[in-house]
Structures are given as C-alpha cells and as structure tokens.
Amino acid sequence: MSGDVQTIVAARRLADARSVFIGVGRPSTAAILAREIINPELVLVYESGTIGAKPRTIPLSIGDGELAATADFVVSVPEMFNYWIQPGRIEVAFLGAAQVDPRGALNSTVIGDYAAPRTRLPGAGGAPEIARGCPRVMVVAPHSRRTFVAQLDFLTTPTAPEAVITDLGVLEPGDDGELTLTEIHPGVTVEQVRENTGWDLKVAGDLRVTDAPTAEEQRALEELVAR
C-alpha cells in the first residue's frame, strides 16, 4: 500500500510534464500510470532508445519489445544521449539509486571500497548525464537507513533533485539545498521517517500529509499491475 502511494505520488508529479526519462521499476510504473490517467500527452522515453513509448503493460526491461513497437520513433544509443538528453530535450528524469545523500546526490556503483567492494552494484548506466541534461530531476527510492545515508560510498551521479519520492513521504531541498521532509504519506509518522533516514533529517515547518490515492488512481494502478 505505501508502495502504491509512492507510485501514485510520483505519477502526480508528471501532471504538467512534456516528457519523462525513466528506467524500469517503480518510476516506469508511475510514468505509465501518469500517461493513462493524468497526462495523456506525456512522452515516455526509455534509455533503450524508445521515444514516445506507449506500453499497456509494465515492462521487465527497458528493451522489451512493446516499448519499441509502440514508440513514436526509436533511436540509437549515441543519438539518445547526444541529441536528446545532453541538450535538455527530455524535461524530467526519474532516477533510482542504492544510496541517496542529504543533498540528493546518488550512488549506484559500489557499497564499500571501490577496489574491494562489499557489494558491486550495476554502475552508472545513463544516470550521470541524464541527471545533468534533464532540466528537472526526481528520485524515486525506498526509504531506509541503507538507502538514505549521510555519506555516499561512491558518488555516481551528482545532482540536486527537485524531489525525492519515497514509500514514506517526499523530501525536497530547503533553502540551503539540504533535503527536507515536506510531505508524509497517510498513516506515516515523522518519527518513522526520521528513524529510516541515516542523517538528522530536517522537517519542513509546513509539513503536509500526501493526499490519499483516489479510488480512480488506486483502481487504475491495480489494473495496470494486473495486466
């Protein structure tokens, strides 16, 4: 349920976006949901080169056949990064990460020492240049002390996201750039969020409770997941 709220809150953030760059997982589900019930003109862009994809089901990989078959057009990897991402033609980036620091920078490379890692993660992929090229960056990540850390083990993606959307709430940068809790999801307490954050998390004076998913949002998400 809290995961559903996270997906729906992420989808709502795309209400006025022209285009969104997404990886698979929750960001992809949120973007597909947004296109179906909130913003039908939203252009979905996947790293595999599919621009304007219109998937009816949730893809397992960014290269699933349905993405290419339904895209407005499909481009090569060099074209994707050089012509579309680098010049800022894709408005919003939805990124995930294994670690997020207090300013929203991301690690997706290693846990532990680089030369002798405790856990070797997949690595940068497109994230550094996507975060740099897209005018608006949002991070979608599960809220735990493992993920929200005071110090990254490796700085893969320097970025200052406009929002970090978790399964407990939403963090946004304060005046000093530090991520601050601005929204909690229904049924979540501030203490719970702070306990699951690896630094002394600031809380906004005007903290809001996320609008609960509407029946329509909930139904649309359930239908999408079941398809």
Partner 1 sequence: MATTRSHRAQIRPLAEAVADLVHDGDAVAMEGFTHLIPFAAGHEIIRQGRRELELIRMTPDLLYDQMIGMGCARRLVFSYAGNPGVGSLHRLRDAVEHGWPAPLAIEEHSHAGMANRYAAGASNLPFGILRGYTGTDLVAHTDVRFVTCPFTGEELAAVPALRPDVAIVHAQEADRRGNVQLWGIPGVQKEAVLAAARALVTVERVVDELEPRAGGIVIPGWVIDAIAVAPRGAHPSYAHDLTERDNDFYKEWDRLSRDREEFQAWMREHVLDATEVPA
DSSP per-residue string spanning 157-174: B----SEEE-SSEEEEE-
Contact window for partner 1 (CB under 8 A) among 121-129, 134-142, 166-174, 191-199: 121-129
Distant-in-sequence, close-in-space partners of 87: CB < 8 Å, separation ≥ 6: 133
Interface with partner 1, residue 157, by CB under 8 A: yes
Distance (Å, rounded) from C-alpha 42 to C-alpha 191? 36
Which member of 7, 29, 147, 156 binds partner 1 (CB under 8 A)?
156
In sequence order, the 6+-apart residues with CB closer than 8 A to the CB of 115 are none
Catalytic residue among 47, 91, 183, 217: 47
Report the alpha-carbon distance of residue 73 to residue 171 in Å, rounded.
35
Examine residue 111 and tell whether it contacts partner 1 (CB under 8 A). no
For position 135 contacting partner 1 by CB under 8 A, the verdict is no
Q: Does 44 bind partner 1 (CB under 8 A)?
A: no
Under the binding rule (CB under 8 A), the answer on residue 158 touching partner 1 is: yes
Contacts (CB under 8 A) with partner 1, residues 172-211: none
Based on the shown chain and the rule CB under 8 A, indicate whether residue 226 belongs to the binding site for partner 1.
Answer: no
Figure out which of the listed residues 6, 7, 48, 147 binds partner 1, where binding follows CB under 8 A: 48
Closest to 32 measured CA to CA, from 75, 70, 2, 1 = 70
Q: Name the 3-class secondary structure at 215.
A: helix
178 is catalytic: no
> 2, 4, 25, 36: which one contacts partner 1 (CB under 8 A)?
25
Q: Applying CB under 8 A, which of residues 2, 52, 103, 128 lies at the interface with partner 1? A: 128
Asked if residue 222 lies in contact with residue 169, where contact means CB atoms within 8 angstroms, the answer is no
147 binds partner 1 per the rule CB under 8 A: no
Q: Strand 106-107 relative to strand 99-100: parallel, antiparallel, unpaired?
A: antiparallel
Of the pair 74, 190, the CB lying nearest partner 1 is at: 74
Q: Out of 41, 65, 191, 200, which residue is the one contacting partner 1 (CB under 8 A)?
A: 65
